Amino acid sequence: MPKEAWRKPCYLIAQHAVFNFLVGLVLLVDVACTITEFVLRMSSCENCLTVTILRWTNVGFVVFYILECIFELLSKGFRVHFRSYWNILDFIVLCISIASAVVEIEMEVTHSWYSEYIVLLRLCRVFRLLRVKRVLRVFLPVGNKLAALVTHRVNVQLTKGYDIGRGFMLGQSDVSKIVDYMVDYQPIADKLKQICTDSRLEIVRELAALQEKYPKVAVAVKTRRAVRHVLNSTRTELIELKEAGMLDDGVYHKLMEVIEEKMMRLHTAPQSIVPAPPTELLKNVVWIKEHEELFNYFQDKVQLQHFGAGWCLGKEGDEPSGIYVIICGVVKVEGIVKPTEGGSLPNTDSYHWFMSEGNMQDLLTVGAVLGELGVLTKKKRQTKATCETDVRAFHIPQQVMLDAIEQFHQHPSLEYKLWRSVALKVARSVLSLEPKYENWPPSKLMMHLDRAFLPDLSAVNSYLVRPTMTDVVLVQGIATDVNNSDEFFGPAYIPSTVYSITIRKNVNNDRTILVIVGNENFTPDPDVDWSGTAQRRMSIMNNFGLCLLHDVRRRHSIMPNAEDDDQRARSWSDNFRRRFLSNADTTLPLSKRRMSMFNQGVDNPTFVTERNNESNAEGKPRTWSDRFRVRFDMPHGGHGARPGEKRRGSMFCRMERIDSYGNMSDQQNGDTKSQKSNDSKEEPAEPTPADTQVPEIVFSHF
């Protein structure tokens, strides 16, 4: 860089790649024109128009070389410029070119003797091409552009192949789900499902190899697919809002145009994206994400390890060795699916275990996490994990994970995050086997489960399934239906006909894990909240409200009709509160009644009981019906609304007579046809208003 300020602009221009490329390109064109003129002169075409044009073109080239030399001298200075032998050679060639140009012009003007071989003097400019750097300046940009074009075409083909392969894999998975509905003969159905499974594993292996060899293409394809999924989901929500009448036509069409424009821009999205560093992959693990302190803890203790093809990460029967986060490569997980003991989760690395029968095989690729169940259950492995290709992975030892669970116990604790990650994956496998979800893709199921609630059932032995709960999945443990004593062993789906369950410990005394997915009216119970965020969620909903779609739906469900004030126009919680709040025995101490609905204003109550070894008046241990009952005495010392032989002694049988809107059925109020026929002879007197009141509810502790 020259010291003089006026030289710096000239120096920057002279050193620019475009300027050097232009000089080299002009030099190549000059040599081509010289050879062409020489050939034409030798073929008795001395005075044709083409030769005349080429002769005067030579003058233009010489002028360009003179300007180039002057510009180089201005940018570097006379002394600095001629320190290079290549610059001296360029100056000599320039002098010869000027002399030949002057001679040719003089002969052309005076029409004197002219020799064709004078043109050969111009070929001395070829010596300027001997400078390798100058040649590279000419050919490298062209070569780079050509290589970029070829790479782009290759990436386009790879992208298409990746999309086709992924579509084939999803198609095989969908076919394997509907084979049983298409084929009645079970051996043929099993054979077809085995073919689908083998084809799926083979394409997964090929896609993993493609991702390992071309990581930029794989990242671009995944990014494009994620963007397309978000846009499709947004478009679906817009259509629902439009059909619900919450968007006018102008706003709807404007938003749809924006979405369509973004969809069209996906066609010009880059075909390759540089992948993030491996630490970003560790940072985006579900139970580490958005926790900087936890990420720093693992970053200091994690080990980046390389495993060759065929290396065994763990065999069946081995003790858990920690967690592996795959960075690149393919890991094959295989084992024999066995029934769970007492609803306990097995220590497996693949959640495909819960959808398989017999021999199970699965391939895990980039981003997969192995060993979560081993850390939580501390059981021996039931599957074998082998490296199918060369694998790079982060390894977090078992003891490091156990120490981290003890250290990071603040809500939401690390143990809760691990259980939530495992529970949602298991619940996805369980829901995918249900008829109403069998056609849902995995991404849609995970979005459905993203708002799931995991209650803490460690101090609870019964749980009320509320009407606002859309899906209830028992991931681990044993639950019993209170109404018909049906038992559910995890993982299992709790049907909507179950209104209350009793929690029982299994032989291994495992923690009972329940996944609850609620609708827009569902509010988690703070008494059994494990994450520590229920109060925050309630505060946000009370202060800021729900989203537009869910808020309108909720208001529509609870607002009565102005023309017809029907009781069904009110929500279940409003009717429940209206009937029972006025009759609750408020004179009882708070420790004798746990009614979160009345005390905290929660829409749908969850009744949580504690263990207690109280006895009844006869000295016998209390049964569950005694401890958790409905008392039919009047609040002010009455004897109830009905004779003793007609009263129901079970709270749950009593609550069966309350419909989903909180209204009492005719049978509960004693107005059924059978009762009318039986009591027609007696013709009892009309009951008084005090007799028809709903009895109080008393919830006593266990």
Task: Answer yes or no: do 384 and 498 share one domain.
Answer: no
Provide the 8-state DSSP code for 284: T
In this structure, is residue 160 part of a structural domain? no
d(CA 511, CA 376): 10
Indicate whether 75 and 133 sit together in one domain. Answer: yes
Mean pLDDT of the region 159-183: 87
Residue 45 contacts by C-beta under 8 Å, 6 or more apart in sequence? 51
- 226, 241, 268 — which closes off a domain? 268
Residue 447, both tokens? 């979005």
How much is the pLDDT for 636? 42
**Of 511, 545, 579, which marks where a domain is finished?**
545
Highest-pLDDT range among 169-183, 344-358, 422-436, 564-578: 422-436
CA dihedral sign, ordered 588, 594, 598, 601: positive
For residue 413, give the 3-state DSSP assignment: coil
What's the confidence (pLDDT) of residue 341? Answer: 76
pLDDT for 270 beyond 80: yes
Q: pLDDT tens, 101-119?
A: 777 777 666 666 555 556 5
Q: What DSSP line would sit under 152-197, residue for residue? A: HHHHHHHHHHHHHHHHHHHHHHHHHHHHHHH--SHHHHHHHHHHHH
Domains identified in the chain, total number: 4
Percent of the chain whose pLDDT exceeds 90: 22
List of residues 6+ apart from 228 with CB closer than 8 A: 263, 266
- Checking if the pLDDT of 322 tops 90, the result is yes
What's the mean pLDDT when you consider all of the chain?
74
> Which is more confidently placed, 6 or 698?
6
For residue 649, being part of any structural domain is answered with no
pLDDT tens figures, 372-414: 999 999 999 999 999 988 899 999 999 999 999 999 988 889 9
Look at residue 683 and tell me if it is in a domain: no
Report whether pLDDT(558) > 80: no
Task: Report the alpha-carbon distance of residue 290 to residue 687 in Å, rounded.
Answer: 63
Least Cα distance to 475 among 383, 623, 604, 376 occurs for 376
Mean predicted confidence (pLDDT) in 148-153: 87
Separation of alpha carbons 199 and 275, rounded Å = 28
Listed residue (490, 492, 306, 316) closest to 387, CA to CA: 306
State the average pLDDT over residues 556-578: 45
Task: Note whether 517 and 446 are within 8 A (CB).
Answer: no
At residue 678 the predicted structure's pLDDT band, cuts being 50, 70 and 90, is very low
Question: What is the pLDDT, as a whole number, of residue 21?
Answer: 75
Q: In this structure, is the dihedral angle defined by the CA atoms of residues 383, 387, 393 and 395, taken in order, positive or negative?
A: positive
- Work out the end-to-end distance of the chain between its first and last CA atoms, rounded to an integer number of angstroms: 88
Alpha carbon 353 to its chain centroid, in Å, reads 21
| Strand arrangement of the beta sheet that strand 359-364 belongs to | 312-314, 384-387, 331-336, 359-364
Contact, 344 vs 478, CB < 8 A? no
284 and 403 both lie in a single domain:
yes
3-state SS assignment for residue 603: coil
Give CA–CA dist 418/528, Å, rounded: 18
**For residue 89, what is the domain's CATH number?**
1.20.120
C-alpha torsion sign, points 206, 212, 214, 215 = positive
Q: Does residue 55 fall inside a structural domain?
A: yes
Work out the number of other CB atoms within 10 angstroms of the CB of residue 570.
20
Residues 230 and 287 in one domain: no
Cα(281)–Cα(211) distance, integer angstroms:
15
Distance CA 683, CA 523 (A): 47
DSSP 289-357: TT-HHHHHHHHHH-EEEEE-TT-EEE-TTPPP--EEEEEES-EEEEEE----STTPPPB-S-GGGGG--
- At residue 146 the predicted structure's pLDDT band, cuts being 50, 70 and 90, is confident
Joined tokens for residue 273: 């994206």
Do 124 and 38 share a structural domain? Answer: yes
| Any domain includes 373 | yes
Question: pLDDT-derived band of residue 356, with 50, 70 and 90 as boundaries?
Answer: confident
Q: Which carries the bigger pLDDT value, residue 114 or residue 577? A: 114
Q: How far apart are CA 683 and CA 178, in angstroms?
A: 61
495: cis peptide before it, omega within 30°?
no
Residues 133 and 56 in one domain: yes
CATH of the domain at 319: 2.60.120.10
Sign of CA dihedral 395, 400, 402, 405: negative
322 and 399 fall within a common domain: yes
Which of these three, 493, 512, 545, is where a domain ends? 545
What is the spatial distance between Cα 83 and Cα 79, in angstroms, rounded to a whole number? 7
302 and 395 in one domain?
yes
What pLDDT, on a 0 to 100 scale, did the predictor assign at position 373? 93
517-552 per-residue burial string, b: 16 or more CB within 10 A, e: under 16: bbebbbbbbbbbbbbeebeebbeeeeeeeeeeeeeb
Task: Say if 503 falls within a structural domain.
Answer: yes
- Are 119 and 107 in contact, with CB atoms under 8 Å apart? no
Q: What is the pLDDT, as a whole number, of residue 533?
A: 61
- Predicted local confidence at residue 75, as pLDDT: 80
Q: Are 494 and 568 in contact (CB under 8 A)?
A: no
- The pTM of this model reads 0.60
Token couple for 699:
């919830």
Number of H helices, E strands in the chain: 22, 15
Domain match, 210 and 146 both: no
Is 171 buried (19+), middle (13-18) or exposed (0-12) by CB count in 10 A?
middle
Model confidence at 648: pLDDT above 50: no
Q: How confident is the model at residue 90 (pLDDT cuts 50, 70, 90)?
A: confident
**pLDDT category, 261, cuts 50, 70, 90?**
very high
- For residue 59, pLDDT over 50 is answered with yes
Same structural domain, 27 and 145: yes
**Between these two residues, 327 and 52, which has the higher pLDDT value?**
327
CATH number at residue 492: 2.60.120
Contact 440, 427 (CB under 8 A): no
Alpha-carbon distance of 562 to 547, in angstroms, equals 25
**In terms of domains, do 306 and 332 share one?**
yes
Rounded Cα–Cα distance for residues 178 and 438 (Å): 9
Sequence-separated (6 or more) residues with CB below 8 Å from residue 429: 351, 352, 354, 355, 491
Polymer length of the chain? 702
Between 215 and 559, where is the model more confident?
215
The reported pLDDT for the residue numbered 57 is: 80
Whether the per-residue pLDDT at 186 is higher than 70: the answer is yes
- Top-confidence range, 4-18, 40-54, 349-363: 349-363
* Neighbouring-strand partners of residue 494: 472
- Tens digit of each residue's pLDDT (9 = 90 or more) over 233-249: 899 889 988 888 888 88
Most confident of 52-66, 285-299, 342-356: 285-299
* Shared domain check, 205 and 126: no
State mean pLDDT over 178-192.
88
Q: Does the residue 607 lie in any domain?
A: no
Give 179: exposed, middle or buried? Use CB within 10 Å, 0-12, 13-18, 19+: middle
Looking at residue 471, its pLDDT comes to 94
The answer to the question of residue 650 being in a domain is: no
Nearest partner of 362 among 394, 391, 384, judged by Cα: 384
Which residues, 6+ apart, have CB-to-CB distance to 430 below 8 Å?
A: 354, 473, 475, 491, 492, 493
**Structural domain boundaries, residue 512:** 438-545
